[in-house]
Amino acid sequence: MKSTQKPFFWTASAVALAGLTAYVVARQTAHHHDGHVHQASPHESSGDAFHEWLHEQLEITPEQEETLAPIERSYADSRAELLGRIGESGHRLAAALEHAPVDRAAVDAALGEIHEAQGRLQQLTIGHFLEMKEALSPEQAAKLLQWTRESITHEHQP
């Protein structure tokens, strides 16, 4: 490999690794909330740690569950759309990195799409928690916000 190609190779490798890391983090975040956002009824048995925590710790009432159901469905639909965009952009990034020479414009465009969708996903998720909070009692809302803060700082282990 020529010495002028080495810096580009390492830059492209770092970009690919960053894209892959972003994709994995987004997928892990989505997996963490799957039961929470996909709960269509209280009778489903596929709840994950977050949804279980909500019910156990926040003691969600049937009335609150009914109020939260449309909020959950809307969030799940929007989240799925954004995760799909992140996945598609990740594939475009991988394809752009396969070309020789690497198409830097395509790499940058795919990374931009990934970052934009991840930012929207973060905004959507925080907005979702704030919207949920309105259906909760003050004590429940305080617990939800505490859990959210701890999750952001990685202090919470469900």
Q: Is residue 144 part of a domain?
A: yes
> How many CB atoms lie under 10 A from the CB of residue 82?
22
Domain count, the chain: 1
Query: What count of residues does the chain have?
Result: 158
CATH of the domain at 131: 1.20.120.1490
Q: Is residue 7 part of a domain?
A: no
Helix ranges (DSSP H) in 39-137: 49-58, 62-98, 104-133
Q: Which domain holds residue 98?
A: 73-153
Say what the pLDDT of residue 100 is. 84
Q: Is residue 63 part of a domain?
A: no
Q: Max Cα separation, the chain?
A: 67
Provide the whole-model pTM: 0.63
For residues 117 and 23, the answer to whether their CB atoms sit within 8 Å is no
Say what the pLDDT of residue 32 is. 42
Q: Is residue 43 part of a domain?
A: no
Q: Is residue 48 part of a domain?
A: no
Q: Is residue 50 part of a domain?
A: no
Cα–Cα distance for residue pair 102/104, rounded to 1 Å: 6
Say what the pLDDT of residue 6 is. 55
**Mean pLDDT of each 10-residue bin along the chain, 158 residues long:** 53 51 48 40 38 76 91 91 96 91 93 96 91 93 89 68
Q: Is residue 106 part of a domain?
A: yes
Say what the pLDDT of residue 7 is. 54
Q: Is residue 128 part of a domain?
A: yes
